[in-house]
């Protein structure tokens, strides 16, 4: 028997993301590239349910150190809650594995430093799963910006909308607490700040932000502990019946008997401490000004982005869920000052995140794809987008602009702010 050339990977975190994107879908589409050798989750039953869903047999560990010692994986894919990523990433690299981390790479400045230091020390490689860079629309915009069609970019308008289903989901779970997610300025906006950093090929310098909890949490008209036992089921627009969603019932509700992690906690809990309505102004190193917002209880799921330059404007309005029928393609409009309009239609791509998920997996796991647009994102990109989110949250709390250099503080020889690859 020839030894297999497939990468031996271990999955840590057997929730929805781990089980689908980095479990069933990965094995289904990239089975020639990877082999799942173990799953780790603090909740054994969830890991068992995950493996049943994925359809492979592999050993289960609740102790990550033991997994690393026994299985010696080549690659670890980290899909746990955000505030735990750093520990797992560092341990995996110290055990000799390369790592793919789900976004956000982590949640605090100290944790960023820990990860960068470990990567430097071990010589192992960390990839961060910034799938939106790989959406065909994003790639097209990047090409247009690179072509100089609108001249030097001077400002960007970027507004992201989460609907009453996806947006509310963050308020049902651990994401609803800054300690776990860093707030949605980190958990969710890490995608958006990364897109900006990549599109603009620059780093954020200063951030001014406002953020409030205006809709969920203490703002609710009533509250319970969780939907399943709630006396307000009949009157609450956010009522979620987990028993009607087989994957949620199997992967979360049944295993909740082991760890008490429920998927339908009340979105109106008074303890919720993350904002749901956020705006930020970002000044970039290259002088570009960005106007950003994130709203979490909208009738649409999607975003608007526009790049304003000396010679014109590139604009995209893109939806993932909306109450009207969309054409089978997204329209990028390129408006040239004094010179008309070009409408570019980019056909919809199947797969998650505007088609980014599949292309990301190709880039990370197949040999050979070129990376002309520099879509592959490592720890530096992971760090920079998280820093922007941390700065935004801090600014919203202090009422003053926050400089990235100030929150980064002592560089400890990591050269983060001095170098752009």
Ligand X SMILES: NC(=O)c1ccc[n+]([C@@H]2O[C@H](COP(=O)([O-])OP(=O)(O)OC[C@H]3O[C@@H](n4cnc5c(N)ncnc54)[C@H](O)[C@@H]3O)[C@@H](O)[C@H]2O)c1
Q: Provide the binding-site residues for ligand X, judged by CB under 6 A.
A: 12-18, 40-43, 46, 64, 79-82, 84, 102-103, 129, 131, 187, 353
Q: How far is the CB of 17 from ligand X (least distance, A)?
A: 3
Which CB atom, from 11 or from 200, has the smaller least distance to ligand X? 11
- Write down the least CB distance from residue 130 to ligand X, Å: 7
Q: Nearer to ligand X by C-beta: 153 or 251?
A: 251
Measured from the CB atom, the residue of 164 and 308 that comes closer to ligand X is 164
We find the least distance from the C-beta atom of residue 154 to ligand X, in angstroms, to be: 30
Decide whether 269 or 353 has the Cβ nearer to ligand X: 353
- Residue 385 Cβ vs ligand X, minimum distance, rounded to whole Å: 12
To ligand X, the closest distance from the beta carbon of 302 in angstroms equals 15
Residue nearest to ligand X (CB): 15
The distance of closest approach from Cβ of residue 22 to ligand X in the complex, given in angstroms and rounded to an integer, is 9
Closer residue to ligand X in complex, CB, 158/252: 252
Which C-beta is closer to ligand X: that of 20 or that of 396? 20
Whole-number minimum distance, CB 149 to ligand X, in Å? Answer: 29
Pick 172 or 228: Cβ nearer ligand X = 172
3-state helix/strand/coil string of the chain: CCCCCCEEEEEECCCHHHHHHHHHHHHHHHCCCEEEEEEECCCHHHHHHHHHHHCCCCCEECCHHHHHHHHCCCEEEECCCHHHHHHHHHHHHHCCCEEEECCCCCCCHHHHHHHHHHHHHHCCCEEECCHHHHCHHHHHHHHHHHHCCCCCEEEEEEEEEEECCHHHHHHHCHHHCHHHHCCHHHHCHHHHHHHHHHHHCCCEEEEEEEEECCCCHHHCCCCCCEHHHCCCHHHCCCCCCHHHCHHHHHHHHCCHHHHCCCCCECCCCCCCCCCCEEEEEEEECCCCEEEEEEEEEECCEEEEEEEEECCEEEEEEEEEECCCCCCCEEEEEEEECCCCEEEEEEECCCCCCCCHHHHHHHHHHCCCCCCCCCCCCEHHHHHHHHHHHHHHHHHHHHCCCEEHHHHHCCCCCCCCCCCCC
């Amino acid at each position: 028997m020839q030894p297999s050339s497939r990468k031996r990977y271990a999955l840590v975190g057997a929730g929805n993301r781990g089980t689908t994107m980095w479990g069933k879908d990965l094995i289904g589409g990239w089975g020639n590239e990877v082999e799942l050798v173990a799953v780790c989750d603090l909740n054994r039953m969830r890991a068992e349910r995950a493996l049943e869903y994925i359809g492979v047999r592999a050993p289960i560990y609740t102790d990550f150190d033991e997994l690393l010692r026994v299985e010696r994986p080549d690659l670890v894919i980290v899909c746990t809650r955000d505030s735990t990523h750093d520990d797992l990433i560092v341990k995996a690299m110290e055990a000799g594995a390369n790592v793919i981390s789900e976004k956000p790479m982590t949640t605090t400045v100290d944790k960023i430093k820990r990860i960068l230091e470990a990567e430097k020390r071990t010589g192992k490689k960390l990839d961060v799963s910034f799938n939106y860079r790989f959406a065909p629309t994003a790639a097209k915009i990047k090409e247009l910006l690179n072509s100089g069609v609108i001249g030097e970019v001077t400002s960007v308008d970027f507004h992201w909308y989460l609907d009453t289903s996806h947006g509310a989901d963050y308020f049902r779970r651990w994401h609803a607490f800054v300690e776990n997610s860093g707030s949605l300025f980190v958990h969710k906006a890490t995608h958006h700040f990364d897109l900006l950093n990549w599109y603009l090929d620059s780093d954020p310098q200063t951030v001014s932000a406002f953020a409030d909890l205006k809709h969920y949490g203490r703002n609710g008209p009533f509250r319970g502990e969780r939907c399943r036992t709630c006396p307000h089921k009949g009157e609450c627009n956010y009522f979620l019946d987990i028993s009607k969603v087989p994957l949620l019932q199997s992967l979360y509700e049944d295993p909740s008997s082991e760890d008490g992690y429920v998927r339908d906690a009340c979105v109106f809990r008074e303890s919720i401490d993350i904002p749901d309505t956020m705006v930020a102004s970002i000044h970039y190193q290259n002088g570009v000004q960005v106007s950003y917002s994130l709203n979490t209880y909208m009738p649409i799921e999607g975003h608007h982005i526009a790049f304003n330059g000396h010679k014109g404007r590139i604009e995209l309005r893109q939806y993932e869920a909306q109450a009207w029928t969309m054409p089978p393609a997204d329209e990028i409009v390129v408006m040239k000052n004094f010179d008309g309009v070009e409408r570019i239609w980019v056909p919809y791509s199947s797969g998650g995140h505007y088609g980014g998920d599949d292309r990301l997996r190709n880039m990370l796991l197949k040999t050979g794809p070129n990376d002309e647009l520099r879509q592959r994102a490592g720890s530096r990109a992971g760090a920079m987008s998280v820093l922007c989110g941390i700065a935004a949250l801090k600014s919203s709390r202090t009422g003053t602009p926050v400089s990235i250099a100030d929150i980064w503080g002592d560089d400890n020889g990591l050269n983060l702010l001095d170098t752009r690859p």
